[in-house]
Amino acid sequence: MDTLTDRQQEILDFIRERIEGDGVPPSLAEIAQAFRFADPSSAQHFVAALEAKGALRREPGKRRNLRLVNEDGRSASRPGRRVPLVGRVAAGLPILAQENIERSVLLDPDMFRARADFALRVQGDSMRDAGILDGDWVIVARSAEARSGQIVVARLDEEVTLKRFKRNRGSIELWPENPAYPVLRVDPRKHAFAIEGILVGLLRGSRA
């Protein structure tokens, strides 16, 4: 790799920190904002220079396509993303409140089909027939919306639950995957309801 100027090194370090911290590289607009450039074209100029010097490579077909380059000239593999492990959620507290977080775990971003934001420990066997067992960790992407049929982490009144989300003629139902448990039918006139995230992966309890 050719020698970098001080500013090029600062921008490369920023890109590396964002990849290591977020699991994805920054956009040109984010680089421009971080370095107070007038517009993203200035960031594009520096990125092009880093490419020319062999420090970066673009990955075709991806929106955030910057990749670091190893000394051997190959693209560096994507770093893991550290996500919080949430144990029992205390009633009334946000899921990611510090009181609920037991520790964090480094996840391989290529293991899951979407960005992982947190892992929630499963308590009970209501999702047993979906292969989700007591003590497992479900990997969740934060989202306030879901399609009918997706498994979601939802807040119903003061409790957080993992269920299959279904819309039935305009009503909302939360289905267990175990016939021993009842379907939860959400009446917005009686219940406070919100989707907290969508299931994107699973870790057995012993692997977290």
Active-site annotation, residues: 126, 163
Residues 6+ apart with CB under 8 A from 98: none
d(CA 13, CA 18): 9
**Strand arrangement, sheet containing 101-107:** 101-107, 81-86, 118-121, 137-142, 193-203, 151-156, 159-168, 171-175, 184-186
How far is CA 183 from its chain centroid? 28
Cα maximum dimension of the chain:
66
**Pairing of the two strands 118-121 and 81-86:** parallel
d(CA 204, CA 83): 16
**Pairing of the two strands 193-203 and 184-186:** unpaired
